[in-house]
Chain A
Amino acid sequence: MTNQRIFAGFKTGLLYVLLLAFLTPFLLIIMNSFKSTQQFFESPLSLPTSIHFGNYASAFKNMDFLQGFMNSLIITGVSVAIIIIFSAMTGYLFVRFKWKVNGVIFFLMLASMALPFQVLMIPMVMLYGNMGLLNTKLTLLFMYLGFGVPFGVFTFHGFIKGIPYELEESAFIEGSSTLRTFFSIVLPLLKPVFVTLLVLDVLWIWNDYLLPSLVLLSPDQKTLPLSTYTFFSSYSVDYAPLMAGLIMTIIPVLIIYLFLQKQIIKGITEGALK
Chain B
Amino acid sequence: MNKKLSLRNAGTFLVFGGPSILAFTAVVIIPFIVGLYLTFTNWDVRTGDSSLIGFANYVEVFRDKVFLNQLWFTLKYVFFTVVIANLFAFFIALALSRGGKGEQWLRTGFFTPNLVGGIVLGYLWQTLFSQVLPYLGNKYGWSLFQTSWLTDTGTAFWALIIATAWQLVGYLMIIYIAGFTSVPGDVLEAASIDGAGRASVIRKIILPLTVPAIVICIFISLSRSFLTYDINLALTKGGPFNSTELATYHIVQKAFLSNQYGVGQAEAVVLFAVVAVIALTQSYLLKKLEVES
Interface on A for B, CB 8 Å cutoff? 8, 11-12, 15-16, 18-19, 22-23, 25-26, 28-29, 40-41, 43-45, 82, 86-87, 89-90, 92-94, 96-102, 105, 108-109, 112, 114-127, 142-143, 145-147, 149-150, 152-153, 165, 178-179, 182, 203, 206-210, 214, 225, 228-229, 232, 239, 242-243, 246, 249-250, 253-254, 257, 261, 264-265, 268-269, 272-273
**Does B285 lie at the interface of the complex (its beta carbon under 8 Å from any beta carbon of A)?**
no
Q: Would you call B101 an interface residue if the criterion is a C-beta within 8 Å of the partner chain's C-beta atoms?
A: yes
* Interface contact A243-B127, CB-CB below 8 Å: yes
**B131 sits at the interface (CB 8 A):** yes
Contact check: which of A19, A28, A98 meets B1 at CB < 8 Å? A98
Contact A25 B124 (CB under 8 A): yes
Q: Which of A18, A19, A147 has the most CB of B within 10 A?
A: A19
Q: How far is B102's CA from A272's CA once the two chains are assembled, in angstroms? A: 24
Complex partner residue of A86 from B20, B102, B128, CB under 8 angstroms: B20
**Cα distance A115–B227 when bound, in Å?**
11
Contact between B34 and A86 (Cβ–Cβ < 8 Å)? no
- Contact between B115 and A118, CB atoms less than 8 A apart: no
With A150-B28, A225-B119 known as contacts, the answer to whether A93 contacts B16 (CB < 8 A) is: yes
Please determine whether A209 and B229 come into contact, CB atoms closer than 8 angstroms.
Answer: yes
**8 A Cβ contacts from B42-95 to A:** 43, 45, 92, 95
- Please indicate the chain A residues that have their CB under 8 angstroms from the CB of B202 in the complex: none
**Roughly how many angstroms separate A42 CA and B27 CA in the complex, as a whole number?**
50
Q: A99-B5, A120-B32, A272-B216 are in contact. Are A142 and B116 (CB under 8 A)?
A: no
Q: Which of B103-111, B186-194, B203-211 contacts A (4 or more CB under 8 A)?
A: B103-111
User: Can you report 8 residue pairs joining A to B where beta carbons are below 8 Å apart?
Assistant: A12-B102, A28-B128, A89-B16, A120-B32, A143-B27, A146-B24, A254-B115, A273-B178
Q: Least Cβ distance of B216 to chain A in Å?
A: 6
Question: Complex: how many Å from CA A228 to CA B126?
Answer: 13
Q: Which residues of chain A come closer than 8 Å to B220, judged between CB atoms?
A: 272
Given contacts A15-B106, A146-B28, contact A116 B272 (CB under 8 A): yes
Contacts of B125 in A (CB 8 A): 25
Q: Select one of A102, A112, A119, A225 contacting B272, CB under 8 A.
A: A119
The minimal Cβ–Cβ distance linking B227 to chain A, given in whole angstroms, is 5
CB-contact partner of B223 in A23, A28, A116, A239, under 8 A: A116
Of A119, A208, A209, A232, the residue contacting B35 (CB under 8 A) is A119
B38 A126 Cβ-Cβ under 8 A: yes
Q: What is the distance, in angstroms, from B120's C-beta to the closest C-beta of chain A?
A: 5
Q: Which residue of B lies closest to A206 (CB)?
A: B117
Closest chain B residue, CB of each to CB of A204: B117
Q: Is the CB of B23 within 8 A of A22?
A: no
The answer to whether B110 touches A22 (Cβ under 8 A) is yes
Minimal beta-carbon separation of A205 from chain B (angstroms): 10
Once A99-B5, A203-B115 are accepted as A-B contacts, the answer to whether A118 and B109 lie under 8 Å apart by CB is no
How many residue pairs link A and B with beta carbons under 8 A? The number is 252
B101 and A122 contacting across the interface, CB-CB below 8 Å = no
Nearest 4 CB-CB pairings of A with B: A146-B27, A207-B117, A146-B23, A93-B16
Q: How many of chain B's residues have a CB under 8 angstroms from any CB in A? A: 88
Contact A239 B127 (CB under 8 A): yes
Chain A residue at minimum C-beta to C-beta distance from B217: A272
- CB atoms of A272 and B175 under 8 A apart: yes
**B150 on interface, CB distance cutoff 8 Å:** no
Residue B196, interface by CB 8 Å:
no
Judging by beta carbons under 8 Å apart, are A116 and B23 in contact?
Answer: no
Per-residue A-contact encoding for B244-260, CB less than 8 Å = 1, 0 else? 00001001100110000
- Other contacts beyond A97-B13, A165-B1: 5, CB < 8 A: A15-B92, A16-B106, A112-B32, A121-B268, A272-B178
Query: Which of chain B's residues has its CB closest to A19's CB?
Result: B109
Minimum CB–CB distance for A190 against chain B, Å? 14
B12 touches A93 (CB 8 A): yes
Q: Given the complex, which residues of A lie within 8 Å of B114, measured CB to CB?
A: 203
Nearest Cβ distance between residue A104 and chain B, in whole angstroms?
Answer: 11
Q: A44-B135, A210-B230 are in contact. Are A90 and B119 (CB under 8 A)?
A: no
Bound complex: CA A12 to CA B105 (Å): 11
- Interface residue? B269 (CB, 8 A): yes
Q: Are A122 and B16 in contact (CB under 8 A)?
A: no
CB < 8 Å: which of A94, A109, A206, A246 contacts B24?
A109
B216 — nearest CB in chain A belongs to which residue? A272
Cβ-closest chain A residue relative to B35? A123
Residues of A within 8 Å of B5, CB to CB, are 99-101
Report the Cα distance A234→B280, complex, angstroms: 43
A19 touching B115, Cβ below 8 Å = no
A125 to B229 alpha-carbon distance, docked (Å): 17
